[in-house]
Amino acid sequence: MNDFSNEKLLVIAPHSDDEVLGCGGLISKIKNDGGKVYVLIFNLGFEKTDTVESQEKRKNEVMNAMSTLNVDDYHVVHDKPDNNRDLDAKPLHSLIEIIESTSNVSLEKIAPTIVAIPTVFSHHQDHVHVHRACIAALRPISTPVSNIVMSYEAPEHSRWSASGVFEPNLFVEIDDVIDKKIEAFLKYNSQVRPGGRDADSIRSQAKYRGQEVGKNLCEAFFVHRFIL
């Protein structure tokens, strides 16, 4: 698949910045080809020291990252300090409903051809919980059936997991868009730190995935469904 002009990608992210770390290159390639991209973010992330001001800063970071990637629309579900925590404790059916129908970027509203979801291979409970909701929502029933459903990695999570190891079977070359991916991630200034969340780490991970398939720089995915 070298032409993304007719594709509609939906990226589902547990936290803001996961969409860039896992799919920033793919997002950029689809937009460069004239396709459409939508992002569903469940929450902004939670820290014990969070305040209304710090949450507002994160909302602005999301807006700036989405603008950098030129996404067509996005939705942050939980964006206030009083509901921006304990994502893994929220009823699974409520997450499924958001993905299927109630979000402004739901499956029913945008009918994506490609859906990228967080991998289950993570030590982070929010990622595992959202993955399970995605798999349920994407079952082939009356909601629009996406041709491609695949998991993306969150490198710092998938290196340490009790549920297994992320073993990709689809690779997207991102040599031409790695700088845009890094630029978008750096908009999340509050989340930049060594060890997976800085420019060097993003480039190193892309090089590692590229070397696995004899290429230069790649993003890696695990395909759950691929309909030709």
Q: What pLDDT score was predicted for residue 191?
A: 83
Domains of the chain: 8-226 (3.40.50.10320)
Q: Give me the tens of pLDDT residue by residue for the chain, a chain 228 residues long.
A: 678 999 999 999 999 999 999 999 999 999 999 999 999 999 987 666 677 777 888 899 999 999 999 999 999 998 766 555 678 778 899 999 999 999 999 999 999 999 999 999 887 888 899 999 999 999 988 677 899 999 999 877 666 666 678 899 999 999 999 999 999 999 998 887 777 788 999 999 999 999 999 999 999 999 999 998
**pLDDT value of position 159:** 67
Q: CB under 8 Å to 133, separation ≥6 — which residues?
A: 92, 95, 96, 99
Beta-carbon-side half-sphere exposure of residue 220 (alpha carbons within 13 Å): 22
**pLDDT attached to residue 13:** 96
61 closest CA partner among 154, 186, 180: 186
Other beta carbons within 10 angstroms of residue 191's beta carbon come to: 18
Nearest to 190 by CA among 46, 74, 71, 83: 46
Residue type (1 letter), 28: S
Task: Give the pLDDT of residue 79.
Answer: 77
Count of other CB atoms within 10 angstroms of residue 228: 5
Per-residue confidence (pLDDT) for residue 157, from 0 to 100? 64
Structure tokens at 135: 């798999």
- Inter-residue contact 81 to 58 (CB < 8 Å): no
